[in-house]
């Protein structure tokens, strides 16, 4: 059996998107330590990665000495995005949720074995003071870096999830791009790296044979249809795109993710035309408009078929945790480019 080449320290681990990305990249890596402060996320992580040393801790409690004992080669992380998100207060480095990230920057110069970094965050991070502090710290430690704004759409996955990514390696520059540009596509000279390409329509990502009871669980309530029908993003099984699913999916109607016309045999245009005439929501019932199930969202985000939630995880918590996670396929592709 081939000896493990890379030792990964996974910070802000969530439900394990980075871990799954490392597995998918198939680069002989092992997650030697995983840390997150979110109790619900940690329960899901431990449910799926029973052998990983996963701890519920504030990253500020991690010292350079403790990290050095683990001898990690790679740090993979997805720090809190709230200080930079478009719907947040945008307090940037003044937000208390940045304190753990700032602690990591203080620790970075003292890490003896770390030579690779992969980080994910929301669009908006690229113009933040936190980003400036991060790249300054990387440079002072001898790292070269490249930045990206990428969506799964670039891998022909029918879901929009535009995110900021940074990859960095110590003492060796990249053969593409510069540190002054933010790339919006995978580098062309990574063509010799096998980057997974998804199915182009939504159909292959959807659950098969919903039982009536299961379908009823996800149907949009009549009051939601009545109040928000003008702003719902309704998708068909044959569509080649869908909106980004956020942690507020099903809780808020606008800008949190698409809904699906479950019965594709009915005419969307005709049913909505009838509804507009008299406002009777019963016209829309044959369409069976429903929310995407958590498993379907996980499929679109690249989580493998064996990923699952503990049975006691509520539906709302599942949506919230997925909304806070990342696209496994995009991160896996970037990790392979980082290791090239």
Q: How far is CA 71 from the centre of its chain?
A: 26
Among 81, 141, 191, 244, the active-site one is: 81
Q: What percent of the chain has pLDDT over 90?
A: 83
Q: Is 284 helix (H, G, I), strand (E, B) or coil?
A: helix
Same domain, 111 and 257: no
Question: Distance of CA 188 to CAs 195, 202, 299, Å?
Answer: 12, 27, 27
**Token digits for 327?**
């696209």
The closest alpha carbon to 60, from 20, 105, 21, 1, belongs to 105
Give me the residues paired with residue 119 across strands. Answer: 77, 166
Contact present, 170 and 141 (Cβ < 8 Å): yes
Domain-embedded: residue 166 = yes
Residue 76 sits in a domain whose CATH number is 3.40.50.150
Q: What is the pTM of this model?
A: 0.93
Q: How far apart are CA 181 and CA 22, in angstroms?
A: 26
Whether 262 is in a domain gets the answer yes
Where do runs of H (alpha helix) occur along 167-293? Answer: 212-218, 222-228, 268-278
* Within a domain: 309: no
Q: Mind listing the pLDDT tens digit for each residue in 241-263?
A: 999 999 999 999 899 999 999 99
- Assess whether 169 and 241 both reside in one domain: no
Residues 65 and 103 in one domain: yes
pLDDT of res. 93: 45
Within this chain, do residues 80 and 55 fall inside the same structural domain, yes or no? yes
Tell me the average pLDDT across 96-109. 87
Residue span of the structural domain in which 239 resides:
208-292
101 and 47 in a single domain? The answer is yes
On whether both 333 and 222 belong to a single domain, the answer is no
Question: Is residue 2 very low, low, confident or very high in pLDDT (cuts 50, 70, 90)?
Answer: very low
Q: Do 144 and 85 have their domain in common?
A: yes
pLDDT above 70 (res 324):
yes
Residue 144 lies in a domain: yes
Strands (DSSP E) found in 171-257: 182-183, 234-235
* pLDDT category of residue 72 using cuts at 50, 70 and 90: very high
Examine residue 318 and state whether it is found in any structural domain, yes or no.
no
The confidence score (pLDDT) of residue 300 equals 97
Residue 275 has pLDDT above 90, yes or no: yes
pLDDT for the residue 144: 98
pLDDT of residue 5: 80
Residue 81: CA atoms inside 13 Å, Cβ hemisphere, count? 23
- Average pLDDT, stretch 282-290? 96
In whole angstroms, what is the distance from residue 325 CA to residue 328 CA?
9
Domain for residue 174, yes or no? Answer: yes
Spatial CA neighbour of 29 closest among 71, 74, 69: 74
Q: List the CATH number of the domain containing 224.
A: 3.90.120.10
pLDDT score of 192: 59
**Mean pLDDT (whole number) for 270-275:** 94
* The predicted structure's pLDDT at residue 116: 98
Provide the H-helix boundaries in the chain. Answer: 17-25, 39-48, 64-70, 99-107, 129-140, 212-218, 222-228, 268-278, 294-300, 315-323, 328-338
On whether the CB atoms of residues 153 and 160 are closer than 8 A, the answer is yes
For residue 60, what is the enclosing H or E element?
none
Paired strand residues for 148: 165, 183
**Both 174 and 212 in a single domain?**
no
Tell me whether residue 98 is one of the annotated catalytic residues. Answer: no
**pLDDT band with cut points at 50, 70 and 90 for residue 84:** very low
List the single range of 50-64, 81-95, 174-188 with lowest mean pLDDT.
81-95
Rounded Cα–Cα distance for residues 66 and 111 (Å): 10
Q: What is the pLDDT of residues 192-238, one digit of tens each?
A: 566 677 789 999 999 998 888 999 999 999 999 999 999 999 999 99
What is the band of 83 on the pLDDT scale with cuts at 50, 70, 90? low
Are 335 and 21 in contact, with CB atoms under 8 Å apart?
A: yes
**Domain shared by 250 and 274, yes or no:** yes
Residues 53 and 142 in one domain: yes
* Same domain as 183, residue 54: yes
Tally of domains within the chain: 2
Residue 95 pLDDT:
52
Give the pLDDT score at 196.
72
Residues 117-153 pLDDT 10s: 999 999 999 988 889 999 999 999 999 999 999 999 9
Asked whether residue 320 is assigned to any structural domain, the reply reads no
Mean pLDDT of the chain: 92
- Helices and strands (DSSP H and E) totals, the chain: 11, 11
219, 289 contact by CB (below 8 A): yes
Rounded distance between C-alpha atoms, residue 184 and residue 5, angstroms: 30
pLDDT at 70 over 90: yes
Q: What is the pLDDT of residue 209?
A: 86
Task: Please check whether residues 102 and 146 belong to one and the same domain.
Answer: yes
Per the domain annotation, does 298 fall within a domain?
A: no
What DSSP line would sit under 260-274, residue for residue?
EES-TTS-HHHHHHH
Q: What is the edge-to-edge ordering of all strands in the sheet holding 182-183?
A: 54-56, 29-36, 6-11, 74-77, 116-122, 163-170, 143-150, 182-183
Distance CA 33, CA 55 (A): 8
């Amino acid at each position: 059996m081939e000896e493990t080449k890379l030792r990964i320290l996974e910070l802000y681990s969530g439900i394990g998107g980075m871990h799954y990305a490392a597995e998918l990249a198939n680069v002989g890596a092992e997650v030697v330590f995983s840390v997150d402060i979110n109790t619900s996320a940690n329960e899901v992580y431990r449910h799926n990665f029973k052998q990983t040393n996963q701890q519920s801790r504030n990253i500020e409690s991690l010292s350079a000495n403790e990290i050095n004992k683990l001898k990690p080669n790679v740090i993979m992380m997805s720090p809190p995005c709230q200080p930079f998100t478009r719907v947040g207060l945008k307090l940037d480095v003044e937000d208390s949720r940045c304190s753990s990230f700032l602690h990591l920057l203080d620790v970075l110069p003292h890490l003896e074995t770390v030579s690779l970094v992969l980080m994910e965050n929301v669009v908006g991070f690229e113009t933040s003071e936190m980003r400036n502090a991060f790249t300054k710290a990387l440079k002072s430690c001898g790292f070269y870096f490249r930045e990206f704004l990428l969506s799964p759409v670039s891998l022909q996955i029918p879901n929009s999830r535009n995110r900021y990514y940074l990859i960095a390696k110590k003492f060796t520059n990249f053969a593409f791009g510069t540190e002054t540009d933010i790339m919006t596509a995978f580098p062309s000279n990574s063509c010799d790296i096998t980057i997974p390409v998804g199915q182009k329509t939504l159909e292959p990502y959807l659950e098969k044979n919903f039982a009536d009871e299961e379908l009823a669980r996800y149907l949009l309530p009549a009051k939601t249809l009545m109040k928000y029908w003008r702003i719902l993003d309704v998708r068909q099984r044959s569509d080649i795109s869908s909106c980004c699913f956020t942690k507020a999916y099903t809780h808020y109607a606008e800008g949190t993710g698409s809904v699906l016309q479950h019965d594709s045999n009915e005419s969307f245009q005709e049913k909505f035309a009838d509804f507009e005439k008299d406002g009777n929501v019963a016209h829309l019932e044959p369409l069976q408009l429903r929310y995407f199930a958590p498993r379907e969202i996980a499929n679109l985000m690249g989580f493998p078929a064996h990923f699952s939630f503990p049975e006691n995880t509520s539906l709302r918590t599942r949506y919230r945790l997925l909304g806070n996670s990342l696209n496994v396929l995009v991160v896996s592709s970037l990790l392979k480019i980082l290791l090239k």
